[in-house]
Chains A and B, each alone.
Chain A
Amino acid sequence: MTKQIRIALAGNPNVGKTTLFNAITGARQHVGNWPGVTVEKKTGRVSHNGYEIEVVDLPGTYSLTAYSADEVVARDFILEEKPDVVVQVVDATNMERNLYLTTQLSELRSPVVIALNMADMAEARGDAIDRDRLSAFLEMPVVRTVGTRKDGISSLLDAVIEEAETSPHHEHTIGYGDDAERMIASLVGVLETDQSLAARYPLRWLAVKLLEGDEDVLARIQEGPAAGRVQNILSSIDTDGYEATMADKRYEAIAAILPQVRTVNTRSMNSSDIIDRVVTDRYLGIPIFLALMWGAFELTFTVASPFVTAIDTAIAWLAEAVAGSIEPAWLASLLGDGIIGGVGAVLVFIPNIFILFLILSILEDTGYLARAAFVMDRPMHALGLPGKSFIPMLIGFGCNVPAIMATRTIEGEKDRLLTILINPFISCSARLPVYVLFAGAFFGQQAAGGVVFFLYVLGIVVAIASAKLFRSTILPGESSPFIMEMPPYRIPTALTSLIHMWDKGSMYIRKAGTIILFGAVVVWVLASFPYGVEYGSAESLAGSLGHLIEPLVAPLGFDWKVSVALIFGFLAKEIVVGSLGVLYGTGEESLSSALLADPNLSAATALALMVFVLIYTPCLATLGVIKKETGSWKWTGFSVAYGLIAAWILAFIVGHLAGIFSGGM
């Protein structure tokens, strides 16, 4: 019979924890969210020596205080879920800081196994670490691992199983000095009177946290019988003072151990610093960054091109085959026009999305993205945004959904909200087909590129202007000061980058499979009913809807067909093209000639329409993620209203200006 073990992976950010997680679990993993917070939860499974091991990847944290969502998630998991073993991934090249977390983990009384990761890097630069002695000092097993090469995984799992089977477990604690220890002892004495508390938590840990003035722990004991006496003790002392002393003691303990287990090869400047001198250069930093971004987009669009054509061809073939072979006709129409046409329009962008995410993953895994945020901090600061918000903006060119999720790395609540609110104006790849269609039809091959470029720039300008506007009105203040680790440069492994890409890219496929499928069916139903009307005609439900809206958008020069397409575009902006195809009854092949022939549409109207599509209400999936990340209907509603109003005004201005130059709308 196989035995079940549950282990948690803990560790600082940038210690190769995710790589190790991938190396342990391979493809057997699941990504979700921790309940109640916007922190990603990854779990995976692995079988080893007859044990079925569930691996939970905790968020990367520097310590276990209650001041960030990541740290609360990590410590609550260890405290409440009581995993059999906690594996702490330690960066062998950066032991001091990593062991600080170890001192905190050991107080939680879970068995801890140390995975001394990136050991190859430490060795390559001449450091020698005596693992046996380290293990003896810490009183926990220490295993050498190299996540990128999958070295040491098996011995790590051996150690984990052995540790899980060992009981009772020896508790390793740090002495905090006579004064602090006296306070801890008296607090433990009081806490012991609370039976339920004593059964659930390690009392020494509770006492240490109370002494540090941890509000989360204070709240936990509030209901119990010990609360009053604890308050009495705490009110008589200065918790800030104790917090500082105890931090000192932890580092002292580490400083006492390290020289005995590690011999460091002294060196002046490491390669990461050397590279940083160039890529964060005062003058060259930003140009290098911009050049790399150009490269990223060049790859995204040119390299994906044959794949896009292949998918496009396949979908067109499929739609035709379905339409020609299935009876009854309405079903063929639903499958061919509705589902395959609608979903297909979105699937076509999968190569672009995946390549963009692959490049971003590689940039992130090499460590360059952190430098990009540093380099962009100053220009972004001028806009009232922190440098970190640049990364979500960049991802926004691919898709706003993962972009808004990427704002989680931004610390200040206002900074984060601001970045979320302006993100939809960054023109995502879903809007591109609309531009391609209209720019291609009305401006000719030569000018189309320029028009599309103008729209991208307009999106950025609107985002910047909105940021300025929000900063001076609804979200006043400076962007908050930040601190961010610069991980050393690494050569990324294909596996990690690919998994990374898949995590983000598969979100897009899921979106295509759910919301867009739903949208396509809704469009088809509205265009086909009431029963008997001509598909997509003015008498259909879609037609009536369009006529209802028409007066509102008439000043922009849009007729009922465009109105309907815009309503459907709310589901996902790429549907605008598909639904126009449906409404004109031409399919996408000959849509551009049908559009040109429509007397209601001129070049100026087409331009106004593209501007409107760029700016108006974010798509449903984006709104969903805005709601989830802001946790507020108010801000979600604000985003809808602001987008609609801005789109109307700008489309009006652009359309009429273009009309003046080209002679009437």
Chain B
Amino acid sequence: MQDMTKLLFGAVLGALYVVLGIFQILWTVIGPQPGFDALFLTGDPFNGFVLLVIGAVFVTGAWKLFRDIGEGAVFIYIGILLSILFGMVEFFALCAGAIETIFFGEEGSGWAITDSINPLLYLAAIGAVGFFAWGREFLRGLRAA
């Protein structure tokens, strides 16, 4: 049963990462499209590439769990880890942006949190849910490594 949850989690989150990654790259090529403001797409191709990679790890995990060929859960764990890692990278970048604007910003150029939000940041929140669900199991394994 545990595996079924992981499978669904990996499949859904993986699909989200892949779709948003494709959007990010598309936006670079064809420019921002109307109607997607809520997704906070930045049109950064590298950002899109990272989204695709994380998505691929999740999808691979879900696929392996589905086919029951073993090691599927491992891919889900690493996917969660990558998700959180890149969420943190973006979070640090956001903080740095805020600090810079507050202390050294030129007059009138207000800093808006919405400028710094991107899919890597908010998808990490979902990744974090997975971490709280299975993180103990995973970290125990790592420390014993």
Contact = CB atoms under 8 A, between A and B. Distances in A.
Given A279-B78, A294-B50, A305 B100 contact: yes
B102 to A, nearest CB: 9
Interface in B70-113: 71, 74-75, 78, 82, 85-86, 89-90, 92-93, 95-97, 99-100, 103-104
Contacts, number: 90
Interface string B27-58: 00000000000000000001001101110110
Interface stretch (A376-384, A486-494, A530-538): A486-494
A302 B144 contact: no
Contacts of A284: 53, 56-57, 60
B143 interface: yes
A121 B144 contact: yes
Contacts of A277: 71, 74
A295 interface: yes
A637 B53 CA distance: 43
A294 B21 CA distance: 15
A310 B103 contact: yes
A84 B116 CA distance: 58
A278 B78 contact: yes
A302 B104 contact: no
A198 interface: no
B1 interface: no
Contacts of A303: 92-93, 95-96
B104 A309 contact: yes
A409 interface: no
Contacts of A278: 57, 74-75, 78
Chain A contact residues: helix, strand, loop or mixed: helix
B92 A302 contact: yes
Contact of B53 (A288, A298, A313): A288
A551 interface: no
Nearest to A296: B89
Contacts of B75: 278
Contacts of B145: 121, 270-272, 275, 488-490
Given A294-B49, A309-B104, A274 B89 contact: no
Interface in A485-510: 488-491
Contact of A306 (B74, B103, B142): B103
Given A271-B141, A287-B56, A291-B82, A309 B100 contact: yes
Contacts of B143: 121, 124, 491
Interface residues of B, number: 32
Interface string A99-139: 00000000000000000000001001100000000000000
A491 B85 contact: no
Contacts of B49: 287, 290-291, 294
Instruction: Report the contact-size class of chain A (Cβ under 8 Å from the partner).
Output: 20 to 34
Nearest to A123: B144
A349 to B, nearest CB: 16
B74 A287 contact: no
Contact of B89 (A275, A298, A489): A298
A274 B74 contact: yes
A299 interface: yes
Contacts of B144: 121, 124-125, 270-271
B60 A295 contact: no
A299 B104 contact: no
Q: Which of B57, B82, B141, B145 counts the most chain A CB atoms within 10 A?
A: B145
A281 B54 CA distance: 13
A510 to B, nearest CB: 27
B134 to A, nearest CB: 13
Nearest to A304: B96
A272 B143 CA distance: 10
Nearest to A299: B89
Contacts of A304: 96
A295 B86 contact: yes
A274 B71 contact: yes
B96 to A, nearest CB: 5
A491 B71 CA distance: 22
A31 B103 CA distance: 37
Interface string A159-192: 0000000000000000000000000000000000
A306 B100 contact: yes
A83 B117 CA distance: 58
A295 B93 CA distance: 10
Contact of B54 (A121, A274, A291): A291
Contacts of B96: 302-306
A640 B49 CA distance: 38
Contacts of B141: 271, 274
Contacts of B52: 287
Contacts of A302: 92-93, 96-97
A306 B104 contact: yes
Given A299-B92, A302-B92, A303-B96, A287 B53 contact: yes
Contacts of B86: 291, 295
B53 to A, nearest CB: 4
Interface of B: 46, 49-50, 52-54, 56-57, 60, 71, 74-75, 78, 82, 85-86, 89-90, 92-93, 95-97, 99-100, 103-104, 141-145
30 contacts: A124-B144, A270-B144, A270-B145, A271-B142, A274-B71, A274-B141, A275-B74, A275-B142, A278-B74, A278-B78, A279-B78, A281-B60, A284-B57, A287-B49, A287-B53, A288-B57, A291-B50, A291-B82, A294-B50, A295-B86, A298-B89, A298-B93, A299-B92, A303-B93, A305-B96, A305-B100, A309-B100, A488-B145, A489-B142, A489-B145
Given A279-B78, A309-B104, 8 more contacts: A278-B57, A278-B74, A290-B53, A294-B49, A310-B104, A488-B145, A489-B142, A489-B145
